[in-house]
Amino acid sequence: GAVVSQHPSRVICKSGTSVKIECRSLDFQATTMFWYRQFPKQSLMLMATSNEGSKATYEQGVEKDKFLINHASLTLSTLTVTSAHPEDSSFYICSARGPGTSAGELFFGEGSRLTVL
């Protein structure tokens, strides 16, 4: 199947700093990537849809100025958590649909665990 890689897998930062998480499609081009957030023992909640060459589409309740998404190329989308606070601590997962996939499944990155002190 298609491979999606996410980096870093773990990051710890101080409150008030910004953190960038990268999501790459390694063996295919992804015009669209999806960013999810997962709190402990909870399900995956869609944050935003990242579109190559255009603005991301954010879900209701997600602050676009807090969670900056850039999809500058067909293989890379980045999520920047700006002025991070402890409540932003969470597990962030990116995903993309593989090339020519007709069955609709998403391939997921390994996830990034963000801890804000």
Partner 1 sequence: AQTVTQSQPEMSVQEAETVTLSCTYDTSESDYYLFWYKQPPSRQMILVIRQEAYKQQNATENRFSVNFQKAAKSFSLKISDSQLGDAAMYFCASVNSGNTPLVFGKGTRLSVIA
When asked if residue 44 is in the footprint of partner 1 (CB under 8 A), the reply is: yes
Q: Which is nearer to partner 1, 14 or 40 (by Cβ)?
A: 40
Residues 6+ apart with CB under 8 A from 49: 32, 33, 34, 35, 56, 57
**CA gap 12, 22 in Å, rounded:** 15
Q: With CB under 8 A as the contact rule, which of the stretches 18-26, 44-52, 72-80, 82-90 interacts with partner 1?
A: 44-52
Q: With CB under 8 A as the contact rule, which of the stretches 19-27, 36-44, 61-69, 75-83 interacts with partner 1?
A: 36-44
> Which DSSP letter does residue 86 get?
G
Residue of the chain from 5, 11, 49, 80 that contacts partner 1 (CB under 8 A):
49
When asked if residue 97 is in the footprint of partner 1 (CB under 8 A), the reply is: yes
Angle at 77 between CA 15 and CA 30, to 5 degrees: 155
When asked if residue 46 is in the footprint of partner 1 (CB under 8 A), the reply is: yes
